[in-house]
Amino acid sequence: MPAVTWFCVDIECSGPVPGLYDMVSLGAVVVNDADDGALSLGESFYIELRPEAGMDPDAMAVNGLDYALLLREGVPRGEAIRQLATWVKAQTRPGTKPVFVGHNAPFDWSFVAWCYAAEGMPNPFGYKAFDTKAFSAGVLGLHWLDTNKENLSVALGLPDEDHGKKHRADYDAWYQALILKGLLERQRAPRTSSPTE
């Protein structure tokens, strides 16, 4: 049985670092890893949060969310991460551990981890995260600076990103799930040895 359940997570935020700024939305998609090694995309999760700290207009311009609407209708941080933890627990396969996966995981994980710490709640993903940028550098032999989604979509034969949906956390989490699935399949594919001269 696989030792992990993969959770591809993307967040949008009101600024560059947690604490001074807020996570304002979060999307997540499960990548199911069957006993036979088959991979498939599973359930998804999306939530928008009420901001509590600072706001960088440039960051909000990237995510396109309405800050005033989030202040009125966003889910309070504690409730949002409680819902996430409940969903992660329900989606985690028996006998496996949930793994946070991000494309530039240090950034997204830091906001999620900070929210759990600020609320005095355990992070369902623990202190570790799996980064598809680093993973793609190893699996595909790419330079770090070439591990962007555009290059990975070509290398893995994925559909182009929909730029009308890009930077919406649920869409980005789904696309990152495609990347993870493609990278894992490439890593697990039988290797053929090169003929000797």
pLDDT in tens, 69-102: 999 999 999 999 999 999 999 999 999 999 999 9
Tell whether pTM > 0.85. Answer: yes
CA 49 to chain centre: 17
Q: Is 103 a catalytic residue?
A: no
Question: In which band, very low, low, confident or very high, does the pLDDT at 197 lie, cut at 50, 70 and 90?
Answer: very low
Q: Which residue in 103, 143, 163, 167 is the catalytic one?
A: 167
Q: Residue 94 CB: number of other CB atoms within 10 A?
A: 6
